[in-house]
Chains A and B, each alone.
Chain A
Amino acid sequence: MNDYLEIFNLKKVYPSAKGPQTIVQGFNLKLRKGEFVTVIGHSGCGKSTVLMMVAGLSTITDGGIVLAGKELDGPGPDRGIVFQSPSLLPWMTAKENVMLGIEQVFFTAEKEERELIAEYYLTVVGLADSMHKKPGELSQGMRQRVGIARAFALKPKMLLLDEPFGMLDSLTRYELQAVLLELWRKNKITAMMVTHDVDEALYLSDRIVCMTDGPEAGIGDILEVNFPRPRDRKAVMEHPDYYRLRAHLIEFLEVHAHKKKPASTVPAASPAVAVAA
């Protein structure tokens, strides 16, 4: 009916020294068009693996993913991805990095037209003055802004965000969350994000999917987040439901953490872990 992205019975098995290991199993999820869904869970639970399978960058062991009525097979520019590390090509300027994707998607457009698209999105994310700089000359936060601009500039069917703000300090993270939310609202784009930041999930999402810990991770719980939109961080945090939802999420994460081992021994997320997870 209204389902835009459908994930059926997704399964991921990795070969390991101890034989094949099932990371994710029986993952079913449907996203409505224009919905913002966050997948939350511990580092290494397999949430990034699910996202990377939707992106087409990780092979699907079993099950299937349908986007806008078409089964996905491999990666493609119809899904804009924002990685945890901005993954910009360091030998190109910010604008050239954005242009690289635009040239692929809007190959029929005139060069000036493509440049206007790149300049528009870079301006929207606040990089009007820095678009001719190379990533090495930009701060971590500015680089991630380029990453966001690059993803939106493709006019993708959906947006995939893999802990996009995980490497930023909290002030920059707040700024970029607001930039992302504004762009998402204006573009009415379906978004799926992976994070382990509870407040981030609450501020951005329509629904929060809690994943159980791996191996054989699946969906433990799904929370509806009905704060009015457009959202304002302060209003969200003052909403009567905020602390109830937050407590619920934290309790979920803690229960699933203690099932295996104390939370303190859970390794911190690094880019390598996040991609492999």
Chain B
Amino acid sequence: MKETLRKLDFLLLPLLGAAVITGLWYFSSATWAGDLPNPTKTWTESKPYVLDPFGKRGEMDQGILRFTWLSLILVAKGYSIALILGTPIGFFLGLSKTFTKAFDPIIQILRPVSPLAWLPLGMVLFAKVKGVNISEMAALFTIALCSMWPTVLNTAVGVRAIPTDYMNVARVLKLSRWKTLTKVMIPATLPYMFTGFRLSLGIAWLVIVAAEMLTGRPGVGGFLWQQYNALVYEQIILCILTIGLVGFVLDRLMSVVERRFKTA
């Protein structure tokens, strides 16, 4: 009996943890947090969004997976920009002491700035640019700017950590700059780069909510903010759980990719 219980630990203990939190939630909504809908009410009110996850009743009234999909597309775009810009910047930082001296201080200052601060700047930046969707550009600007730092910094660390032995091989064989980069430096840096990519993806997903809230774009974050403003509190928790679950899945997927490159 005890043996079987221990084998089920991996299942029972997380369930126990979830039960404790749900209990606290019930308790809070029944006592001091009067506006907080309890779990049962949250579920009944969220049902249409969950059971018809791809439904579309209006711009801001769509199934939860449909909203998630919209958010994911925005994140994918912003994240791609972050990687495309961040990786070369990381390489320059790792390669050149002059470049590091010139740009490291400003990077260290820009890095901790919240997405909430970047977004208005993004709106200002693209306000007079013709033919673009200002709110989308501002959101992409914010996602890219906030999420690229782990990629930049990890790539730089990786480049600095390339063993002298490998570079000596390149020097002895007189490999061209291009071959040194593609055959030696990039493969040697890949494990570090992928650690950066994984951390960047986490941040990109974190930023999406703020970006959608401020721009009012449809998506999980935008939906959350709209329901709050409409005094419908039930779906706030649905959105939080969705954001958490998606973030978790993204992180798992990236660590699978990351591990592949670690052993290579």
Q: What is the CB-to-nearest-CB distance from B174 to chain A, in angstroms, rounded to a whole number?
A: 6
A81 and B165 contact, CB distance less than 8 A: no
A85 on interface, CB distance cutoff 8 Å:
yes
A83 and B165 contact, CB distance less than 8 A: yes
Interface string of B161-172 (1 = CB under 8 A from A): 000111011011
CB-CB under 8 A from A87, the residues of chain B are 165-166, 168-169
A77 and B187 contact, CB distance less than 8 A: no
CB-CB under 8 A from A74, the residues of chain B are 171
B1 on interface, CB distance cutoff 8 Å:
no
Task: Find the residue from B165, B171, B264 having the highest chain A CB count within 10 A.
Answer: B165
B172 and A76 contact, CB distance less than 8 A: yes
User: Interface residue count for A (Cβ, 8 Å)?
Assistant: 20
Q: What is the CB-to-nearest-CB distance from A52 to chain B, in angstroms, rounded to a whole number?
A: 9
Task: Find the residue from A77, A85, A104 having the highest chain B CB count within 10 A.
Answer: A104
A89 and B172 contact, CB distance less than 8 A: no
A63 on interface, CB distance cutoff 8 Å:
no
A255 on interface, CB distance cutoff 8 Å:
no
B240 on interface, CB distance cutoff 8 Å:
no
Query: When the two chains form the complex, which single residue of A79, A81, A91, A104 contacts B187, counting CB atoms closer than 8 Å?
Result: A91
CB-CB under 8 A from B183, the residues of chain A are 89, 100
**Bound CA span A81–B165, Å:** 12
A76 and B174 contact, CB distance less than 8 A: yes
A176 on interface, CB distance cutoff 8 Å:
no
A166 on interface, CB distance cutoff 8 Å:
no
Q: Which residue of B lies closest to A81 (CB)?
A: B172
Q: Which residue of B lies closest to A104 (CB)?
A: B173
A275 on interface, CB distance cutoff 8 Å:
yes
B165 and A85 contact, CB distance less than 8 A: yes
A75 and B187 contact, CB distance less than 8 A: no
Q: Which residue of A lies closest to B164 (CB)?
A: A275
CB-CB under 8 A from B172, the residues of chain A are 55-57, 75-77, 79, 81
**Bound CA span A138–B173, Å:** 23
B214 on interface, CB distance cutoff 8 Å:
no
**Bound CA span A43–B183, Å:** 33
B166 and A77 contact, CB distance less than 8 A: no
Interface string of A32-62 (1 = CB under 8 A from B): 0000000000000000000000011100000
CB-CB under 8 A from A26, the residues of chain B are none
Task: Find the residue from A74, A79, A89, A271 having the highest chain B CB count within 10 A.
Answer: A89
B184 on interface, CB distance cutoff 8 Å:
yes
Within 8 A of B (CB), among A72-98: 74-77, 79, 81, 83, 85, 87, 89, 91
CB-CB under 8 A from A141, the residues of chain B are none
**Bound CA span A74–B174, Å:** 10
Interface string of A261-277 (1 = CB under 8 A from B): 00000000001000100
A101 on interface, CB distance cutoff 8 Å:
yes
CB-CB under 8 A from A104, the residues of chain B are 173-175
B171 and A57 contact, CB distance less than 8 A: yes
Task: Find the residue from A55, A76, A100 having the highest chain B CB count within 10 A.
Answer: A100
CB-CB under 8 A from A81, the residues of chain B are 168, 172
Q: Which residue of B lies closest to A57 (CB)?
A: B168
Q: Which residue of A lies closest to B171 (CB)?
A: A75
**Bound CA span A266–B184, Å:** 35
**Bound CA span A74–B183, Å:** 21
B173 and A77 contact, CB distance less than 8 A: yes
Q: What is the CB-to-nearest-CB distance from B132 to chain A, in angstroms, rounded to a whole number?
A: 41
CB-CB under 8 A from A100, the residues of chain B are 169, 173, 175, 183
CB-CB under 8 A from B164, the residues of chain A are 275
B165 and A75 contact, CB distance less than 8 A: no
**Bound CA span A91–B166, Å:** 11
CB-CB under 8 A from A271, the residues of chain B are 165
Q: What is the CB-to-nearest-CB distance from B162 to chain A, in angstroms, rounded to a whole number?
A: 11
Within 8 A of B (CB), among A116-165: 154
A83 and B264 contact, CB distance less than 8 A: no
**Bound CA span A200–B264, Å:** 36
Task: Find the residue from B168, B172, B173, B184 having the highest chain A CB count within 10 A.
Answer: B172
Q: What is the CB-to-nearest-CB distance from A49 to chain B, in angstroms, rounded to a whole number?
A: 14
CB-CB under 8 A from A89, the residues of chain B are 166, 169, 183-184, 187-188
**Bound CA span A120–B175, Å:** 23
CB-CB under 8 A from A57, the residues of chain B are 168, 171-172
CB-CB under 8 A from A75, the residues of chain B are 168, 171-172, 174
Given known contacts A75-B168, A87-B169, what 19 new A-B pairs fall within 8 Å (CB)?
A57-B168, A57-B172, A75-B172, A75-B174, A81-B168, A81-B172, A83-B165, A83-B168, A87-B168, A89-B184, A89-B188, A91-B187, A91-B264, A100-B169, A100-B183, A101-B173, A104-B174, A104-B175, A275-B164
Q: Can you pick out 12 interface pairs between chain A and chain B where the beta carbons lie within 8 Å of each other?
A: A56-B172, A74-B171, A76-B174, A87-B165, A89-B166, A89-B188, A91-B188, A91-B264, A100-B173, A100-B175, A100-B183, A101-B173
